[in-house]
Structure 1
Amino acid sequence: MTWIFKTGVVNGQEPATTGSTFPNRFTGRQIVVAIGSDTDRPEYRLLDNGLMYYREGSEGGFTQLGQQKKDTTQKVFATLEQECKIRTAKVEKPEKPDVTITWKRAKTEFDVGWEKRNAPEVYERFYDRFMKLFPQKKK
């Protein structure tokens, strides 16, 4: 009886995920920051369940870098959605951007990119805060 109770408590405390926890199959919201426009560019991802990923290039494998707290994750998404207004932003993305920020949910995507720190101020602040979430060695 005690074993059943302990199993129920442990299972009840697991965080709820949306779809897969693998970034390419995750159906919840995610933020992707790609630095550069080359095929081997570094890419940082934050899923709305708090999981953080890194990969080199658009075809490389993902490395999980840890997990952010729920409140931190919610603040990051709120900043991008409400302050930066990424879904309605009218920022022309250059052909070879130095930084691209993408908001994704399932198959819906909105992105903003810029060259040589010519970003709108709100996106530049967002980028700086976002990158501080990730471990230093992967930047």
Structure 2
Amino acid sequence: MWLVKTGSVCAQETATTGSTFPNRYTGRQIVVEVGSETDRPEYRLLDNGLMYYREGAEGGFTQLGQQKKDTTQRAFATLEQECKIKTTKLDKPEKPDVTITWKRAKTEFAVGWEKRNAPEVYERFYEKFMSFFPKTKKK
């Protein structure tokens, strides 16, 4: 009886965070892609705080740790409220140097820019966001 209860508690704990695979995660995500090549690095922050990195659109994800809940909430609030990513009308260049995407399930809003053409609020967000990730994984 005790083993059954323990098993169900463990199953409930893992289920609350959702999928740990970013490509299947249905909660909110911030995705930052750097560079304009096809194998450009991609950084992801899930709204449960998990951070991921991958090289190129087809590569596998590497989990890089987890942000604190308040830091994660601030990052999403900044992108949604200060940057207004859901309503920003910015022409994304054909080959952007940086692309920031807000995702939730199948809904996406993206903003991209070429060098030195970023709106100031996005530039500040980008710098803060990239400071979350280990320097060894930055390109």
| TM-score scaled by length of structure 1 | 0.90
Q: What is the aligned partner in structure 2 of residue 59 from structure 1? A: 58
Q: What is the aligned partner in structure 1 of residue 96 from structure 2? A: 97
Q: What is the aligned partner in structure 2 of residue 81 from structure 1? A: 80
The SS at the match of 2:122 is helix
The SS at the match of 1:80 is helix
Alpha-carbon distance in structure 2 between the residues aligned to 1:122 and 1:72: 18
Alpha-carbon distance in structure 2 between the residues aligned to 1:91 and 1:135: 29
Cα distance, 1:128 vs structure 2: 0.1
Alpha-carbon distance in structure 2 between the residues aligned to 1:106 and 1:12: 23
Alpha-carbon distance in structure 1 between the residues aligned to 2:32 and 2:49: 15
The SS at the match of 2:115 is coil
The SS at the match of 1:38 is coil
Alpha-carbon distance in structure 1 between the residues aligned to 2:95 and 2:12: 45
Deviations 1:12-64 (A, max 9, x none): 9947213x110000000000000012110000000000000000000000000
After TM superposition, the structure 1 = structure 2 runs for residues 118-129 of structure 1, keeping only pairs within 5 Å, are: 118-129=117-128
Give, as a single letter, the amino acid of the residue that structure 2 aligns with 1:67.
Q
After TM superposition, the structure 1 = structure 2 runs for residues 1-139 of structure 1, keeping only pairs within 5 Å, are: 7=6, 11=10, 14=13, 16-18=16-18, 20-139=19-138
The SS at the match of 2:94 is coil
The SS at the match of 2:77 is helix
- What percentage of residue pairs aligned between the two structures are identical? 80
The SS at the match of 2:44 is strand
Structure-2 change in CA distance of 1:4 and 1:24 (3 Å): closer
Cα root mean square deviation, aligned = 1.9
Runs of 4+ in 1 over 3 A off after TM superposition: 1-5, 10-15
Alpha-carbon distance in structure 2 between the residues aligned to 1:103 and 1:39: 20
The SS at the match of 1:127 is helix
Q: Unpaired runs of 5+ in structure 2?
A: none
